[in-house]
Amino acid sequence: MAEMMKGNVAIAEAAVRAGVRFYAGYPITPSSEIMEYLSWRLSEVGGSFVQAESELAGINMVFGASSCGVRAMTASSGPGISLKQEGISALSDEELPALVINMVRYGNGLGTLFSSQCDYHRETHGGGHGDYRCIVLSPSSIQEAVDLIPTAYELGEKYRVVVVLMSEGALGQMMEPVELPEFLEPKKNYWGFDGKYSYKKIGIFDRDSMKEAVELNKKYAEIKEKEQRWESEGLEDADYVFVAYGLPGRSTLGAVRSLRDQGYKVGLIRPITTWPFPENAFREVNPKVKAMITVEANATGQLVDDVALYTKKILKSDIPVYALPFVYGVPPMKEIQNKFRQILADEIKEVY
């Protein structure tokens, strides 16, 4: 039975039900309710909670828990996630899974408290130093976020990678009806330290990096082949295809349906995995499509780079690719429609 829940609270409870038994982190708006909820909830199920002295300490505690085979997670936003990058790179190097939740807020440096999508490049193209990739999941509703939590651990443990749930501050603060999943029995993953077995030694001079690179490329190629997720609508006859994820993807879907009612042939691709990017969705697009249009909650346009890449790669087309960056917040349906008409009137120029 569905109940009204705040996004951050629903995500935290879904993590408990998915078998998470360790959380470490440092509070930051707009993700702090996840931490607050788990500070008392984990003790009820025999788990452990630590408010670390810093984000750096928190991610390294998650490293320790994951190395012991425990389902572990942390959450933050903007500058907090930046501080965790070294630990995420180290987790990736050791092939240890963990869930990192980023409730994105707008701005450089300390930024602001506005809900945004300005972390797209960082989350989908690395983040820290090195040659690693994280699977990145981007829900458009609280229910979808809840449903993706167990999926995140299944994927992380299958491929031995860090999984990022990249949402927006607004989703964490809003309330919607949610059906929570059943409880999963916590398990200790086979690689966990038990005093007898060590899965790998951390080292710089005693490793075969060429061999590791081959194995990494094979793993990432398999993820790209098998784990793309998206929602699409109206692609088969669309003259114009919108691409948007998260909450902007949700309002863009409404705009697309309204424009269709007005006689415009438009469609939508809503990535659910922002990495691996759902390039296979582009194979569903009308080969005579006239343009691709991204709708984004950032200032510069970031998603547009990947859309242009896969328009060229999959559609093998030089059609224009536009970006509609709304800086922060959730773009209103009417404003998306108005911007679309500006594109038709050649009042907005393409990015590619």
Tokens standing for residue 17: 């039900």
d(CA 121, CA 119): 6
d(CA 146, CA 132): 26
Report the pLDDT value the prediction gives residue 297, as an integer from 0 to 100. Answer: 98
Report the pLDDT value the prediction gives residue 206, as an integer from 0 to 100. Answer: 76
Which range of 184-188, 208-212, 325-329 scores highest in mean pLDDT? It is: 325-329
> Does residue 198 carry a pLDDT above 90?
no
Tokens standing for residue 213: 């690179």
Residues contacting residue 282 through CB under 8 Å, at least 6 positions apart: 269, 310, 311, 313, 314, 315
Report the pLDDT value the prediction gives residue 95, as an integer from 0 to 100. Answer: 94
From the number of C-beta atoms within 10 Å of its C-beta (0-12, 13-18, 19+), residue 250 rates as: buried
Report the pLDDT value the prediction gives residue 205, as an integer from 0 to 100. Answer: 72
In the chain, list all ranges with CATH 3.40.50.920.
Answer: 230-344
Domain 3-226 has CATH 3.40.50.970: yes
CB 78 within 8 A of CB 28: yes
Say what the pTM is. 0.96
Q: pLDDT tens, 30-78?
A: 999 999 999 999 999 999 999 999 999 999 999 999 999 999 999 999 9
> Does residue 203 carry a pLDDT above 80?
no
> 99: pLDDT confidence band, cut at 50, 70 and 90?
very high
Tokens standing for residue 314: 């999959």
Q: pLDDT tens, 229-240?
A: 999 999 999 999
Report the pLDDT value the prediction gives residue 248, as an integer from 0 to 100. Answer: 98
Mean pLDDT of the chain: 95
Question: Up-side HSE of residue 113: CA atoms within 13 Å toward CB?
Answer: 7
Residue 152 is which amino acid?
A
CB 139 within 8 A of CB 163: no
Closest CA to 317 of 241, 228, 265: 241
Residue 122 is which amino acid?
R
Give percent of the chain above pLDDT 90: 92
Q: pLDDT tens, 287-325?
A: 999 999 999 999 999 999 999 999 999 999 999 999 999
Characterise 301 by phi-psi region: left (phi > 0), alpha (psi -120 to 50), beta (else). left
> What percent of the chain is helix, strand and coil (3-state, nearest 5)?
40, 20, 40
Report the pLDDT value the prediction gives residue 192, as an integer from 0 to 100. Answer: 86
Average pLDDT over residues 15-31: 97
Report the pLDDT value the prediction gives residue 197, as an integer from 0 to 100. Answer: 56
The alpha carbon dihedral of 125, 128, 129, 132 has a sign of negative
Q: In whole angstroms, how far apart are CA 26 and each of 50, 54, 88, 98?
A: 9, 6, 16, 16
Q: Encode 28-41: b = buried (16+ Cβ within 10 Å), e = exposed.
A: bbbbbbbbebbeeb
The correct CATH number of 230-344 out of 3.40.50.2300, 3.40.50.920, 2.40.50.100, 3.30.70.100 is: 3.40.50.920
**Helices 85-93 and 55-67, interaxial angle, to 10°?**
20
Quote the distance between the C-alpha of residue 166 and its chain's center: 3
> Does residue 204 carry a pLDDT above 80?
no
Q: pLDDT tens, 247-266?
A: 999 999 999 999 999 999 99
Report the pLDDT value the prediction gives residue 201, as an integer from 0 to 100. Answer: 53
Q: pLDDT tens, 157-193?
A: 999 999 999 999 999 999 999 999 999 999 899 888 8
Residues contacting residue 124 through CB under 8 Å, at least 6 positions apart: 136, 274, 275, 277, 306
In the chain, list all ranges with CATH 3.40.50.970.
Answer: 3-226
From the number of C-beta atoms within 10 Å of its C-beta (0-12, 13-18, 19+), residue 228 rates as: middle
Q: Encode 194-205: b = buried (16+ Cβ within 10 Å), e = exposed.
A: eeeeeeeeeeee
Helix ranges, the chain (H)? 7-17, 32-44, 55-67, 78-83, 85-93, 120-124, 142-159, 169-173, 209-226, 246-261, 303-314, 333-344
- Using CA atoms of 91, 129, 105, 280 in order, give the dihedral in degrees to the nearest 10: -80
Tokens standing for residue 211: 């061999």
Report the pLDDT value the prediction gives residue 1, as an integer from 0 to 100. Answer: 81
> Does residue 129 carry a pLDDT above 80?
yes
Report the pLDDT value the prediction gives residue 187, as an integer from 0 to 100. Answer: 87
Tokens standing for residue 262: 């007005």
d(CA 292, CA 266): 10
